[in-house]
Structure 1
Amino acid sequence: MSHVIAADGTRLWYDVLGEGEPLLLFNGQALDHEMWDGVHTGLARRHRVVRTDFRGTGGSDAPLGEPYSLELFARDALAVLDHLGIGRAHVYGFSMGGKVAQTLASLAPERVGALVLGSTAPGGDHEVERPRSATLALRQAGTAAGRELIGPLFYTPDWAAAHPDTVTRVLPRGPLRAQRLHFGASTGYDGWDLLPGITAPTLVVHGEDDELTPVGNAELLAERIPGARLLTLPGMRHGYPHEAEPEATRAVLEFLAEHGLTERGLTDQPLRA
């Protein structure tokens, strides 16, 4: 188990798998690194994959005294990259992690190679709202009935029934107060004005039948980010990285290969003071 210390003293968990150009993964709201289990091994066939837990989840500390923000999460991620000596990395953000990825690409564009935004949204008034039933399910996801509520929102019923361990990995974890801080950080985000300034090559990936984050959000992101590419997966819901694997992983790997750091005249060498 490895940790880096953030600027405010918070311990942040991370691990690294594979070799190649670095790829930083961002988890969904109140989820930890285990949500990438299986998916990250496929990505690690070609990349040095870095998983990290946002504060309040998994192996990271959960300070509860102050509100969380997506900029705070992005700065925590930079602390992980700095600790590993990675000057520039590709970034793949899922759900709320996709909003953190947007924030990082705006906050520190020199640190981001290519950007993959999965099952995510622009936030603010422009975000296409989820159905009320999905919001109620999300709010109850940390209860004993969470599996029954969240599973069908992430996956088709038959797939969810056949993969109960995967469903468990997408249930919120950590202190309830930290889960609420994550919810507040995500719902308080408005990236609309940031999106036109994103310079990283961007792939937007989304399940066509996603109710947690309706697919209209993917279309908004692809239209708003200059040159962004949109991949919509028919029949998939919020949890496409698992259910549509290996198709989704292959598409991500091909996109990253197309926009390699060295091919763009960039490197992942450590930054120098």
Structure 2
Amino acid sequence: MSQSFRTARIDDVSLAYTVAGQGEPLLLIMGFGGTMDFWGFPFVSTLMKKFKVIAFDNRGVGESSIGTEPPSIDRFASDAAGLLDHLGIESAHVLGWSMGGYVAQELTLARPELVRDLVLYGTCCDHRNVMELRPGASGNLMNTSVSDVERTEIALNMLFPRPWLDSHPGFEKAFLSRPMTVYSRCAEGIAGQVKAIASWKGCCDRVPSISVSTMVVAGEMDGVIPASLSRELAKALPDGSFRSFSDGGHGLVYQYPKELAEMVTEFLP
């Protein structure tokens, strides 16, 4: 998506973003270490049939500048709100993946008028709960001694359940053929995201004040954020529902791009 990206000055950063498709606005908020390209064309192209899809690079990664303000989940949410304001969008559907789900929740809590409804994918309401259940789940991605190729192998095994990979050998080969360079290219920004996640106090106690209709989606075999935490989040939301993929991992957007996009499309009015 970023081949023809635009930029917007939001407070202290220049945010790179793309807009594609027609219809009501749908803001995609990427997770840890990802750029807007990480959503993938199969997923986005399905969403574009119904929505004006807005994707962007969080500050410090991809084509967005790092800024001068200390990184935080609240700051990332402010950036997202600023982008919608910049585009003149009074309210949008919002979808957040993983860390992007943390950002989406804080965006909804801080600027509820901007969010029509919400999709939270592969996420929870307090990362400290993740660390208790999955200590060091993403630590290897920050290991500066590994090459881009080795880091891509680490990501592969984090994002996808081994049984699913074994049944999709072509996928594994294709994934490994495109080494992830964002971690080495944007090391300072990635480090900032690590700090932001570590310093986030969570929002489980505030989730009951989110009144918009929310769908929480998870892979039952998610190796990063346990599906049990996503299920608990859905229960805590006043108007929350839960959907899952039985053999899905954290990388549902790649395992089942069309099915996930259709699930989102069917949920959003």
Identity of aligned residues (%): 31
Mean alpha-carbon deviation: is it higher for 159-168 or for 43-52?
Answer: 159-168
Post-superposition offset of 1:117: 0.3
Mean alpha-carbon deviation: is it higher for 210-219 or for 170-179?
Answer: 170-179
Instruction: Give the aligned partner of residue 26 of structure 2.
Output: 23
Alignment of 1:198-213 (within 5 A): 198-213=210-225
Alpha-carbon contact 1:32-1:173 (below 8 Å) kept:
no
Deviation sequence 1:69-118 (CA, Å, 0-9, x none) = 11111111122111211100000000100000000010011110110000
Post-superposition offset of 1:126: 4.3
Post-superposition offset of 1:162: 4.1
Q: Determine the C-alpha separation between the residues in 1 that align with 2:110 and 2:185.
A: 27
Residue 165 and residue 127 in structure 1: after superposition, are their counterparts in 2 closer, same or farther (change >3 A)? closer
* 2:89 counterpart of 1:77: no
Q: Determine the C-alpha separation between the residues in 2 that align with 1:48 and 1:142.
A: 40
Alpha-carbon contact 2:62-2:182 (below 8 Å) kept:
no
Deviation sequence 1:194-225 (CA, Å, 0-9, x none) = 21111111000000001111111111111111
Out of 131, 139, 143, the position equivalent to 1:140 is: 143
The AA in structure 2 aligned to 1:186 is: I
SS for the counterpart of 2:93 is: strand
5+ long unaligned stretches in structure 1: 258-273
Alpha-carbon contact 2:152-2:176 (below 8 Å) kept:
no
Alpha-carbon contact 2:127-2:197 (below 8 Å) kept:
no
* 2:205 counterpart of 1:193: yes
Instruction: Give the aligned partner of residue 40 of structure 1.
Output: 44
Q: How many residues align?
A: 255
TM-score computed with the length of structure 1 as normaliser: 0.86
Q: Determine the C-alpha separation between the residues in 2 that align with 1:7 and 1:213.
A: 31
Deviation sequence 1:148-206 (CA, Å, 0-9, x none) = 11102112424441431797469646421211110111232211122111111100000
Residue 170 and residue 210 in structure 1: after superposition, are their counterparts in 2 closer, same or farther (change >3 A)? farther
Residue 136 and residue 80 in structure 1: after superposition, are their counterparts in 2 closer, same or farther (change >3 A)? closer
Instruction: Give the aligned partner of residue 6 of structure 2.
Output: 2
Alpha-carbon contact 2:152-2:180 (below 8 Å) kept:
no
Give the ranges of 4+ consecutive aligned residues of structure 1 lying more than 6 Å apart after TM superposition.
none
Q: Determine the C-alpha separation between the residues in 2 that align with 1:181 and 1:125.
A: 17
Alignment of 1:171-190 (within 5 A): 172=183, 174-189=185-200, 190=202
Out of 89, 92, 102, the position equivalent to 2:92 is: 89
TM-score computed with the length of structure 2 as normaliser: 0.87
5+ long unaligned stretches in structure 2: none
Deviation sequence 1:202-255 (CA, Å, 0-9, x none) = 000000001111111111111111120000110111001110222111111000
Alpha-carbon contact 2:153-2:176 (below 8 Å) kept:
no
Residue 105 and residue 167 in structure 1: after superposition, are their counterparts in 2 closer, same or farther (change >3 A)? farther
Instruction: Give the aligned partner of residue 222 of structure 1.
Output: 234
Q: CA RMSD in A?
A: 2.2
Alpha-carbon contact 2:101-2:124 (below 8 Å) kept:
yes
* 2:55 counterpart of 1:51: yes
Post-superposition offset of 1:140: 3.1
* 2:128 counterpart of 1:117: no
Post-superposition offset of 1:137: 2.9
